Structure formats: structure tokens, C-alpha cells
Amino acid sequence: MKSMYRSATRFFLILVFVSIGTAAAQSGGRLIVLRTPNFGWNLALHLQIDGRTAANVVQARRYDHFLPAGRHVLTASAVPNYYFYQPTSTVLNVRPGQTYVFTAIWQDTDRVVLVPSALPPGQAY
């Protein structure tokens, strides 16, 4: 009987912690970063969020993840970076439940920039 009680208690505690973690993870917004079709077949988009590498987005792929609510710095560059081009950064204020879509494009043939493609109404990046 004790063994069954312990198992039920453990199951209940695991269920509580999983539900708390799920609720915390969904209190942010969704970030989608696309590459422009002419980005380059032999280059990847190097995406950093708050100074940490989030992804290297290759041809025909995209970045699609949730971010916690609050202020985040998105930094984009191309890899490999043979010419030592400087990365560019954009500040994004994430609100719970919102989706943010950016497209990585070349600007002046030497800088990768993130251009907002879709932001919630009234939301400035």
C-alpha cells in the first residue's frame, strides 16, 4: 500500500512541475526568422539572441522558437564571414502571446540585417 501511495505522490508532483514549466514557457512570444531567397546558397544566417548563439539558419530553413516576454537583442550575420563584416543588432520587446516575424536580407552587399516582416498591430520593434 505504501508503495502505491509513493508512486501516486511522485506522479502528482511530476505532473505539477511539468504543468508549471509549460505555463512559464508559454508566457512569451513566438519568434520566426526567415532568410531572403537570394541570401546565398553557400552561406548560413548566424542568429544570436541576447549574445548567445540561437541558430545557424541554412538554405530552405528558418528559426521558429518561443522567447520569454521582455526585451531581447537579436544579432544577425552571415557565416562563413570571409570578409569580416560586422554583425547587426535589433532590439525586440516580446509580449506574451504575440508572434514576431523577421527576414534576414543583405543591405549594401556587405551587411545582413533583420527586417520586420510581421509584427502585432501597434507594436514597434
pLDDT digits (tens, 9 = 90+) for 78-101: 999 888 889 999 999 999 999 999
Q: What's the confidence (pLDDT) of residue 14?
A: 60
* Phi and psi angles of residue 7, each rounded to the nearest 5 degrees, phi first: -65, -45
The span from the CA of 71 to the CA of 100, in Å, is 13
Mean pLDDT of the chain: 84
Predicted pLDDT at 123: 63
Nearest to 65 by CA among 101, 103, 12, 117: 101
The pLDDT of 46-61, averaged and rounded, is 97
Q: How much is the pLDDT for 16?
A: 45
Could you tell me the domains of the chain? Answer: 29-118 (2.60.40)
pLDDT exceeds 90 at position 69:
yes
